[in-house]
């Protein structure tokens, strides 16, 4: 019995050490207030997006919940207004899987909102299918929709500077790749539809997020707008809602033990959005509220420039 107790104690101690040093991550320590500022958070009806929006609302910002589902986003807005005591939390419909919807959102926002100080491109998914425009779902939503949205709102961000763009990427960008001939022929960065291909598509889209941030910083150099990409941590949210039931059931026990909750997962996003003195690090990548080096492909300026040019053509910006 004593051996079993010792073993159990050892397992618990190991779990605590791993959780607090590997999975739990850093905390945003900024005390910045945002009264009079406006922030857009995509995919903010649930998960780390909702936790991010709640924190910004508590700091006094006007927060736009840019989401696809009207019903779920309005419920989230109600929750955030109640918890924060801030009534300046509103829903605006945005389907990142539709370039027409992205353009409609930007047009409506620019007509009705005089400011934009923070654009937090948080929404992301992993799963099969295609967007309304025929692109692979992960590439179309995680990268292309955010690329178009950011470009359509850049002028307003510059007018309200200093302002920031924060792109939620992932550590999995290190496993990503960009095959431009495949993208030209298939409108996607993977050729199959298996679970492995869905995972690979997600990794590829996160590499796109990192490269987009890098090239955006190069193009914004000398302006009042800065941008950052980040790994939010290992978080169990609705990111995997498009996985099959058996895959979710396999993931759940590990997730409950080790993965961050949404509030903890929002900390690096908030750090990039709020921390003072971040301007010299525009275009860089953060994890656990600290500067980290990206994978080799994520440092390739030529690849970043080509992705930008291709994305401009695919979204009709050029």
Exposure string of 287-296, with b = 16+ CB inside 10 Å and e = fewer, is bbbeeeebbe
Tokens representing 234? 């290992």
- Going by C-alpha positions, the residue among 166, 185, 157 that lies closest to residue 266 is 166
Q: E strands within 259-318?
A: 285-287, 290-292
> How many residues in the chain?
318
Contact 66, 146 (CB under 8 A): no
SS3 229: strand
Q: Which residue has the tokens 């550590």?
A: 171
* Strand partners of residue 230: 168, 286
Contact 102, 152 (CB under 8 A): yes
Spatial separation of the C-alpha atoms in residues 117 and 64, rounded to whole Å: 11
Question: CB neighbours of 283 closer than 8 A, spacing ≥ 6?
Answer: 213, 214, 216, 217, 218, 227, 228
Q: Phi then psi for 274, rounded to 5 degrees?
A: -120, -30
Which residues have a catalytic role annotated? 202
């Amino acid at each position: 019995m004593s051996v079993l107790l010792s073993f159990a104690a050892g397992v618990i101690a190991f779990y605590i050490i791993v959780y607090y040093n590997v999975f739990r991550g850093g905390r945003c320590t900024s005390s910045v207030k945002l009264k009079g500022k406006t922030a857009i958070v995509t995919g903010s009806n649930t998960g780390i997006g909702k936790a991010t929006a709640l924190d910004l609302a508590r700091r006094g910002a006007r927060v736009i919940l840019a989401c696809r589902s009207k019903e779920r986003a309005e419920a989230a807005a109600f929750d955030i207004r109640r918890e924060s005591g801030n009534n300046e939390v509103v829903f605006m419909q945005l389907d990142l899987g539709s370039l027409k919807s992205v353009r409609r959102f930007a047009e409506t926002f620019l007509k009705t909102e005089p400011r934009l100080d923070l654009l937090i491109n948080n929404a992301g998914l992993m799963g099969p299918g295609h967007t309304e425009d025929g692109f692979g779902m992960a590439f179309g939503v995680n990268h292309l929709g955010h690329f178009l949205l950011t470009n359509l709102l850049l002028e307003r961000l510059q007018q309200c500077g200093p302002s920031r763009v924060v792109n939620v990427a992932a550590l999995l960008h290190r496993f990503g790749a960009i095959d431009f001939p495949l993208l030209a022929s298939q409108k996607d960065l993977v050729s199959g539809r298996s679970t492995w291909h869905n995972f690979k598509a997600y990794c590829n889209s996160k590499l796109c997020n990192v490269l987009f941030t890098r090239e955006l910083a190069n193009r914004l150099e000398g302006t009042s707008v800065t941008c950052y990409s980040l790994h939010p941590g290992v978080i169990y949210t609705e990111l995997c809602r498009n996985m099959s039931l058996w895959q979710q059931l396999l993931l759940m026990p590990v997730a409950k033990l080790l993965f961050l909750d949404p509030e903890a997962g929002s900390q690096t996003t908030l750090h990039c959005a709020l921390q003072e003195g971040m301007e010299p690090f525009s275009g860089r990548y953060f994890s656990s509220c600290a500067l980290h080096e990206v994978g080799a492909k994520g440092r390739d300026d030529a690849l970043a420039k080509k992705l930008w040019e291709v994305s401009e053509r695919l979204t009709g910006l050029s």
